[in-house]
A and B are shown apart, each in its own frame.
Chain A
Amino acid sequence: MRKESHLVEETVDPMVPRPFVVRESREETRDAFTLTLEPQEANGAPAFEPGQFNMIYVFGVGEVPVSISGDPRQPEVLVHTVRAVGGVTRALQKLGPGDIVGVRGPFGSAWPVDKAKGKDVVIVTGGIGLAPLRPAVCQILGQREKIGKFALLYGARTPKDILYREQLGQWRSNLDLQVRVTVDNATRDWYGTVGVVTILIHKARFDPANTIAMVCGPEIMMRFVVQELIKERMREQDIYISMERNMKCAVGFCGHCQYGPNFICKDGPVFRFSDVRHLFGLREI
């Protein structure tokens, strides 16, 4: 009995990774892939909220923060979409079924899905930024009757860089979800919209006075998107953004991800724009 309680204490220590087995690794784009992970222990994957992240440890290589991109209604597995840009993420890309990684988390704040009840929702995202928002889309679709109009606006570099292409198609077939995708440039085999993601905002149908906006993507993209949403008469306090910094401990000890008075890992990554507007866009923050 004493031994069991000791084990439970160990598993909740936020600094101790839990072993997870790679069940599937799927290529999404030329540099992004999705890992499906199953817990090696019997007590299942930890519940998470949309917007939270895990620290994923590749043994002998290092640890990286990665947003959770799976459906929170399917908590038996962890799904992470990763872009291979550094040593650890490239090592993750090489993993296949049966390989083991360490996982700490989930950490951080969540998208305000509960606050969106009775309101319209507009999600504006670009590039790999769709991954941290996918859980929010899934959760909203699971309680669609509680939300008003729902728009998902997504920008990618080229058609080949579009994440979750198949799922976007399924979502688009929902007659009560506006899905608009644009790319920065394309060849003639692309029949969709070409242009920056901000051009989609004024074409989307939502009531700016009664809308929650969730924005995720490169910081410079978010800056333009927020400007455009405010031009559409949205209030700053109804706009939420997800920030990214170099997270290490993930529990607010080490200070690597300090963002003004906040730690991204603990107080973020999801912030209400009005709470961070004085820091947003400042250099060296």
Chain B
Amino acid sequence: MEKIKDLLMQHPFFKGLPKERLDLLAGCGSNIHFKKGECIFKMGEESNHFYIVRKGRVSLEMDGAQHGPIRVQTIEEGDILGWSWLIPPHKWSFTAFAVEDVNVTALDGQCLRRKCEEDHDLGYELLKRFSAVLAKRLEWTRMQLLDVYGANA
């Protein structure tokens, strides 16, 4: 747990969180390895984790119907993977695959939700931080929608 707390302390996402809150978060954490090609989570399934990618690349995919699965984003070293654990109905919006061998620190969403309900200040801190991640992802998605490199750009 100390090791996970150290990892959290070093990550910019948790910057400024007091030690006692990091202790709480680290209590919900574990280190996991995914092999290249392994499915990390599937769209529609219950979302009970979020991940801090420590090494490797994860692809987020959507089913492109006749086009097959479409990779819409990759999450790489240092990035945060997964926000569905925080927002009801707690179902994954995408499918995630390990594009290469991936090491993550996984934080248990159920455990976190419980702690956030007990400690609203912690909940507010996490919500602020996840809102920033979501806003950035929304901005990127909008840029992708603009199809800036397309023939009519």
Residue-wise interface mask of A (138-168) relative to B, using a CB-CB cutoff of 8 A (1 in contact, 0 not): 0000000000000000011100010000000
Residue-wise interface mask of A (230-256) relative to B, using a CB-CB cutoff of 8 A (1 in contact, 0 not): 000000000000000000000000000
Q: When the two chains form the complex, which single residue of B70, B78, B99, B151 contacts A185, counting CB atoms closer than 8 Å?
A: B70
Measured CA separation A274–B60 after assembly (Å): 37
Q: Does A5 contact B (CB under 8 A)?
A: no
Q: When the two chains form the complex, which single residue of B73, B78, B149, B151 contacts A194, counting CB atoms closer than 8 Å?
A: B73
Interface stretch, picked from A72-80, A170-178, A214-222, is A214-222
Residue-wise interface mask of B (44-58) relative to A, using a CB-CB cutoff of 8 A (1 in contact, 0 not): 000000000000010
Measured CA separation A199–B141 after assembly (Å): 12
| Count of inter-chain pairs, beta carbons less than 8 A | 73
Q: Does A22 contact B (CB under 8 A)?
A: no
Write the nearest CB–CB distance from A284 to chain B, whole angstroms: 18
Write the nearest CB–CB distance from B101 to chain A, whole angstroms: 12
Q: B148 contacts A193, CB within 8 Å? A: no
Write the nearest CB–CB distance from B69 to chain A, whole angstroms: 6
Q: B140 contacts A195, CB within 8 Å? A: yes
Q: Does A2 contact B (CB under 8 A)?
A: no
Q: Does A21 contact B (CB under 8 A)?
A: no
Q: A188 contacts B69, CB within 8 Å? A: yes
Q: A188-B69, A193-B76 are in contact. Are A85 and B151 (CB under 8 A)?
A: yes
Residue-wise interface mask of B (61-87) relative to A, using a CB-CB cutoff of 8 A (1 in contact, 0 not): 100000111111110101000000000
For window 106-139 of A, CB contacts with B under 8 Å fall at 126-128
Measured CA separation A185–B69 after assembly (Å): 10
Chain A residue with Cβ nearest B69: A188
Q: Does A187 contact B (CB under 8 A)?
A: yes
Chain A residue with Cβ nearest B79: A199
Category for how many chain A residues contact B? 20 to 34
Q: Does B150 contact A (CB under 8 A)?
A: yes
Q: A187-B69, A198-B140 are in contact. Are A127 and B57 (CB under 8 A)?
A: no
Q: Does A224 contact B (CB under 8 A)?
A: yes
Q: Does B153 contact A (CB under 8 A)?
A: yes
Q: A188 contacts B71, CB within 8 Å? A: yes
Q: Does A13 contact B (CB under 8 A)?
A: no
Q: When the two chains form the complex, which single residue of B57, B140, B149 contacts A161, counting CB atoms closer than 8 Å?
A: B149
Interfacial residues, chain B to chain A (CB-CB below 8 A): 57, 59-61, 67-74, 76, 78, 97, 99-100, 140, 143-144, 146-151, 153
Interfacial residues, chain A to chain B (CB-CB below 8 A): 31, 85, 126-128, 155-157, 161, 184-188, 190-196, 198-199, 203, 217-218, 220-221, 224
Q: List 25 A-B contacts (CB under 8 A).
A: A31-B151, A126-B148, A155-B149, A156-B149, A157-B149, A157-B150, A184-B149, A185-B70, A185-B71, A185-B144, A186-B70, A187-B68, A187-B70, A187-B71, A188-B59, A191-B57, A193-B57, A194-B71, A194-B73, A194-B74, A195-B140, A198-B143, A203-B78, A218-B149, A221-B149
Besides the known contacts A188-B97, A193-B74, 10 further A-B residue pairs in the complex with CB atoms under 8 A apart: A126-B148, A157-B147, A185-B70, A186-B70, A188-B69, A188-B71, A196-B143, A196-B144, A198-B140, A221-B149
Q: What 4 A-B pairs come out closest when comparing CB atoms? A: A127-B149, A157-B149, A218-B153, A218-B148
